[in-house]
């Protein structure tokens, strides 16, 4: 039940993009068509969902004081987290290249750049600071990824729709994408404030 709460919270209420504005670079750059956005979104769900538990294990059993080495190695956290993320992205890249060359071509440089997608490292760091358990970190990873996925396909559909709009020249492209992100953030504020955990226990 707690894992479900964390999933819902990460996906809708504390959306990575629209509440924390994390992972903006690929979010803005790859959201021109729904198809590519869909592919990248799935890749992010996968990477977030798999790096989160791995990083949890590393943090718990290698870096913490009562881990394998018996000393506090948390200063290595960033390097190790990034290394894990990079290797996972490498894996995703190989799979996509084999499975769907057209998607691979359209994602281009942004696929390897998931490595430095702040949403992914941010997710791992949230996990540490919020002291999630193993199960919760899996739920948080999948939920955060799903929220990111929803946000990017929604903005991609909007950007496809406004392609033929008479937008003032100065705002075309990125300017519009920023305004859109802000407006979407307002819309997502509708769910902010819901506390699934409190509701489940009946206190409101």
Partner 1 sequence: MKKALLNFFKRIEPNKEKRPFMHTLFDGFFTFAFTPNHTTKDGVHIRDGMDLKRTMVHVVIALQLCYIFGTYNIGHQHFVAIGEYTGLMEGFHLKLVHGLIKVLPIFIVTHVVGLGIEFYYAYKKGHGIEEGFLVSGALIPLIMPPDIPLWILAISVAFAVWIGKEAFGGTGMNILNVALLARVFVFFAYPTTISGDEVWISEIEKIGVGEYASANYSWAHGLFDKLFGWFGWAQYGSGGQAVIDGYTGATPLALAAKEGWGAVTETYTTNQMLWGTIPGSIGETSKPFILVGAAFLIATGIASWRIMLSMLLGAIGTAWLLNMWGATPFMDVPWIYQFYMGSFFFAMAFMATDPVTAASTNRGKWIYGALIGAVGMIVRVLNPAYPEGWMLAILFMNVFAPLIDHYVLEGNIKRRMKRAKAKAAA
Instruction: Point out which residues bind partner 1 (CB under 8 A).
Output: 34, 153-154, 156-158, 160-162, 165-168, 171, 176, 179-180, 183-184, 186-195, 199, 202, 204
CA–chain centroid gap for 191, Å, is: 18
Residue for token digits 């992972």? 23
Nearer CB in complex with partner 1: 125/176: 176
Q: How far is the CB of 151 from partner 1 (least distance, A)?
A: 9
Q: How far is CA 45 from CA 6, 11, 41, 52, 174, in A?
A: 15, 11, 6, 11, 24
Query: Alpha helices of the chain — where are they, by DSSP H?
Result: 2-8, 24-29, 34-58, 77-99, 101-107, 118-129, 134-161, 174-188, 196-200
Q: Whole-number minimum distance, CB 91 to partner 1, in Å?
A: 29
Nearer to partner 1, 174 or 199 (CB): 199
CB of 143 to partner 1, least distance (A): 17
Q: How far is the CB of 35 from partner 1 (least distance, A)?
A: 9
Nearer to partner 1, 118 or 158 (CB): 158
d(CA 68, CA 70): 6
Cα–Cα distances (Å) from 52 to 57, 77, 88, 116, 137, in that order, read: 9, 13, 11, 15, 6
* Shortest Cβ 20–partner 1 spacing (Å): 17
CA 124 to chain centre: 10
Among residues 70 and 202, whose Cβ is nearest to partner 1?
Answer: 202
Closest CB to partner 1 among 42 and 113? 42
């Amino acid at each position: 039940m707690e894992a479900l709460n964390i999933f819902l919270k990460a996906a809708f209420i504390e959306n990575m993009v629209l509440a924390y504005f994390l992972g903006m670079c690929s979010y803005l750059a790859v959201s021109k068509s729904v198809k590519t956005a869909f592919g990248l979104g799935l890749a992010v769900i996968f990477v977030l969902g798999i790096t989160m538990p791995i990083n949890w294990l590393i943090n718990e059993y290698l870096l913490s004081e009562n881990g394998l080495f018996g000393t506090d190695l948390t200063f290595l956290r960033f390097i190790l987290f990034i290394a894990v993320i990079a290797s996972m992205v490498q894996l995703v890249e190989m799979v996509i290249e084999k499975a769907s060359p057209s998607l691979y071509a359209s994602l281009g440089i942004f696929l390897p750049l998931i490595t430095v997608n702040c949403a992914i490292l941010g997710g791992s760091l949230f996990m540490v600071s919020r002291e999630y358990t193993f199960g919760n970190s899996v739920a948080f990873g999948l939920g955060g990824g799903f929220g990111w996925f929803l946000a990017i396909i929604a903005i991609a559909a909007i950007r496809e729709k406004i392609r033929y709009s008479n937008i003032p020249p100065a705002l075309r492209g990125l300017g519009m994408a920023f305004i859109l992100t802000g407006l979407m953030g307002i819309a997502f504020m509708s769910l902010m404030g819901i506390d699934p955990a409190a509701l489940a226990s009946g206190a409101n």
